[in-house]
Amino acid sequence: METSDFRKQLEGYGLTTAQILYRMPDHKKILQSYIWQNYDLHPKFPELHKFLDFWEEKLEGPIHSVTIAHCKLIKPAELRMIGSEYKLH
C-alpha cells in the first residue's frame, strides 16, 4: 500500500525545508526561528505558500524572512568517470 508522501514523490514533489524567521508578537525586536518541512513542487512551492498564507491570517508573529532548501535548489557535486587509471607499485 502506497503512502501519500510516496505518491507525491511520483508526481514530482520533493522534500522542501523552510526556515521562517519571525518577530515575537510582544517583543518586535526579538526574532524567533521556525522550521517547516513538507513535500512541495519546485519552483512555485504551492504548499509553502499555502502555509505562509495561513501564518499571515491566523498567527500574530510577523514574518521577517524565509529561507528555502529543496533538492532542485541544492545538489551534490556531479561526478564524472575518468578515462584512465594509473597504478603505482
Segment 41-71, tens digit of pLDDT: 999 999 999 999 999 999 999 999 999 998 7
What Rg value do the Cα atoms of the chain yield, rounded?
20
87 in any annotated domain:
no
Residue 15's domain comprises: 4-70
10 in any annotated domain:
yes
Residues facing 19 on adjacent strands: 35, 67
How do 14-23 and 31-40 pair as beta strands? antiparallel
Residues facing 17 on adjacent strands: 37, 69
86 in any annotated domain:
no
55 in any annotated domain:
yes
Q: How far apart are CA 13 and CA 52, in angstroms?
A: 18
83 in any annotated domain:
no
9 in any annotated domain:
yes
Lowest mean pLDDT among 2-11, 34-43, 62-71: 2-11
- Tally of structural domains, the chain: 1
Length in residues, the chain: 89
88 in any annotated domain:
no
Kindly state the average pLDDT of the residues 65-89: 71
Residue 35: per-residue pLDDT: 98
